[in-house]
Amino acid sequence: MNLCLILDTKPASHDAEIIWRDACQNSGDTLEVINPDNTQYQALIEQFHLNTFPALIQNDRVLAVGIPTLESAKELLTELAAAP
């Protein structure tokens, strides 16, 4: 599964990046991280009408916002993998 994590400039976003990277590594999912200096950043914010960060996206939907625990991140990825 390919996921995209949109960060902001706050240091707490980097905590979320570590959590989502660990969860994706355990589940075998791919995680692309989009930082504010990335050219896609503004387009994605506008496309998804984001005002809360970090935001985890898959295809055309926002899956999660904020900083999860490692357990809740793993649980979400497990649920997504099991969904039809």
33-63 pLDDT, tens per residue? 999 888 889 999 999 999 999 999 998 899 9
Contact 29, 57 (CB under 8 A): no
Task: Indicate the pTM of the whole model.
Answer: 0.91
The whole-chain average pLDDT of the chain stands at 92
Per the listing, tokens 């959590």 go with 19
